[in-house]
Amino acid sequence: MRNNHLFRVMKFGGSSFADEGRMRSVCQWVNRELAHRGPAHRIVCVVSAPTGLTEQYRDTLLGLNAATPDRLIDAGLPLADSIGAVLFAAALHASGLRATVLLGSQIGLRTDLNYTRARLLSVDVRRLADSFQTHDVIVIPGGQASAQETGETTWMGKNSSDLSAIALAAAFGCEEVEICSDVPGVYSCDPNLVADAHLLPTLSYRQAKTMSLCGAKVLHHRGVEYADEHGIRIVCRANHGDFGVGTVIDAHSPFIPAVIPDTRSRAFAGAHDERKRGAAALVQADVPHLSLEGADGDGKLVVTCGFFDSQRFLIEDLGLALKPDDARLLTIAMADGSVSHELVASHVLAGRTLAQHMRHCSQETGNSLLASSRAVPFDRRLAVWGQTEHERHV
């Protein structure tokens, strides 16, 4: 692009801003990267909300009105990411960098009007590129966009910061995007459930998307899909310590055995025609799901990834004769590229996950995670109203 700038796009998860010390560490790393790359280097930093803040806003909205319209959710929840972006830009500025923030329609990501899960239609980074005339770093709140038809603020959904970063990297002609989070990459299983889960050094787009759709928490499935379509290599880093690279995702890496428990999945039983109608509605709403048929014809409709009130949508709004089931989805990815699914009762999911990991995955010890800071996190100090947190699916 103009002025021979060299662009780089990074995404920082909410844990990057858990306290002042973590934020200063990230600022120092960005400073070092700019100094190392030279004066023509420019960085787009896509950031998520401080950990827990989006959930606080969602709980506040749904506490006031359990049936809050999706349009209001799109207007409210992205404010948490805006706060993260403003805090990070202020910290970068204090560290000596020329940093600023672009919000909403200024970013150049254009979507449809599918509220709470808006679909990306086009990208125009001219405004963003112009801002680099006077700034070294532009901070972008992840997931925020604007409707191509009306210009109003839209939200591409929970954890869609990955998609924002990948789409901007493609628009700037970057070969790769860097995803920085509290873990340095993708593991063979959730390390919170399986102690000897190990880091996967490489993954294919296909496996990464499959794992994401089945409940892996590291990457957004639509972001991986976009990277595949545009040939953007995804480099996963830690957001602390030495910011080391853990997993690289590209087109050519082979499948690696992995076990993915989806603790946030929701299963529904019912007649075949009712489940088929539900699946069609979920496709229309762009909600990840699977239809699993049992050997005895006792099939289940499974909504994956969480962050969506599937019971309200399918049963209350659509009036489908479906019954919630206690089972959770467990997925096994094999080295030959095959993928199998099973439904496991929630109270035995952890034990079944461990058994499947022992059976299918090597016992190589992964990289140990750095201890998290004990400092009081921003999200507590920025609380809207004090509330007990509940699991919600918006």
- Whether 160 and 65 share a structural domain: yes
Tell me how far the alpha carbon of residue 56 is from its chain's centroid.
Answer: 18
- Whether 35 and 166 share a structural domain: yes
**For 253-286, what is each residue's pLDDT tens digit?**
999 999 999 999 999 999 999 999 999 999 998 8
How much is the pLDDT for 373?
A: 29
Q: What's 147's domain CATH number?
A: 3.40.1160.10
**CA–CA separation, 16 and 8 (whole Å):** 18
- Residue 244 placed within a domain: no
- Residue 126 placed within a domain: yes
Name the domain count of the chain: 2
- Residue 117 placed within a domain: yes
- Whether 139 and 40 share a structural domain: yes
**For 175-194, what is each residue's pLDDT tens digit?**
999 999 988 999 999 988 89
- Whether 158 and 26 share a structural domain: yes
- Whether 23 and 145 share a structural domain: yes
- Residue 143 placed within a domain: yes
- Whether 332 and 376 share a structural domain: no
- Whether 299 and 176 share a structural domain: no
Q: Which residues contact 29 (CB under 8 A, 6 or more apart)?
A: 243
How much is the pLDDT for 127?
A: 93
**For 216-225, what is each residue's pLDDT tens digit?**
877 889 999 9
Task: Please give the C-alpha separations between residue 73 and each of 67, 80, 185, 338, in angstroms, as whole numbers.
Answer: 10, 12, 30, 38
- Residue 228 placed within a domain: no
Of the pLDDT bands very low, low, confident and very high (cuts 50, 70, 90), residue 327 is very high
- Whether 19 and 46 share a structural domain: yes
Q: What's 322's domain CATH number?
A: 3.30.70
pTM above 0.75, yes or no: yes
Give the domain extent around 20: 2-182+370-381
- Whether 34 and 174 share a structural domain: yes
